[in-house]
């Protein structure tokens, strides 16, 4: 339970309490009792300079993501959206086959697949879910199973000869459960 704003460190106060809930992607075997967590929305007391709204409960990232069950590639709508997304990025930045594209929180590699479809092949995904990284790697989307942080960034930059040359770094919806926004 956190009582300070994740952005500025000021105290927060509750604005909406929705009780408790089990984790969305955790499926225990019956008859195991599921852990529940509070869903309390809080707001930073400094409404003038900050006013950030956040949940007051942070669940351990390893518990949430190392054996994740959501696959972005199971949705037809995601495939269409990611195809358009990749094409727009390609057009905006005039990419070529030498372009390195990193995706943080790449899930099963569905977005990176769309870059591959337009002949962009220097693609690296990073995702903490080992089970999902295996799916991406089986689709020939190079994916590393790690949480992305400064240590991982340094490690990755040493692993490739095109060090510090990523032209595109994508991070879709990766801050949702991050309790340390500074690193």
Burial of 5 (0-12, 13-18, 19+ CB in 10 A): buried
- Element at 23 (helix H, strand E): none
Kindly give the confidence (pLDDT) of every residue in the chain, 183 residues in length, as a single tens digit, with 9 standing for 90 and above.
Answer: 999 999 899 999 999 999 999 888 777 777 778 889 999 999 999 988 999 999 999 888 888 887 788 899 999 999 999 999 999 999 999 998 888 899 999 999 999 999 999 999 889 999 999 999 999 999 999 999 999 888 888 887 777 654 557 789 999 988 776 777 765
* Beta pairing class for 37-44 and 53-55: antiparallel
Distance CA 183, CA 181 (A): 6
- Put residue 21 in one of left, alpha, beta given phi > 0 → left and psi -120 to 50 → alpha: beta
Q: Is this structure's pTM higher than 0.85?
A: no
Distance CA 48, CA 98 (A): 45
Asked if 128 and 147 count as a contact pair (C-beta separation under 8 A), the reply is yes
């Amino acid at each position: 339970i956190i009582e300070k704003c994740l952005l500025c460190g000021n105290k927060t106060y509750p604005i909406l309490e929705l009780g408790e809930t089990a984790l969305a992607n955790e499926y225990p075997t019956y008859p195991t009792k599921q852990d529940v967590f509070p869903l309390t929305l809080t707001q930073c007391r400094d409404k003038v300079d900050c006013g950030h709204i956040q949940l007051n409960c942070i669940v351990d990232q390893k518990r949430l993501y190392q054996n994740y069950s959501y696959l972005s590639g199971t949705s037809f709508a995601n495939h269409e959206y990611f195809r358009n997304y990749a094409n727009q990025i390609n057009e905006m930045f005039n990419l070529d086959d030498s372009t390195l594209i990193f995706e943080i929180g790449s899930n099963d590699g569905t977005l990176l697949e769309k870059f591959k479809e337009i002949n962009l092949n220097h693609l690296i995904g990073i995702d903490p879910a080992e089970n999902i990284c295996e799916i991406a790697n089986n689709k020939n989307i190079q994916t590393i199973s790690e949480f992305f942080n400064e240590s991982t960034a340094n490690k990755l930059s040493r692993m490739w000869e095109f060090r510090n040359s990523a032209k595109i770094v994508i991070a879709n919806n990766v801050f949702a459960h991050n309790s340390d926004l500074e690193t």
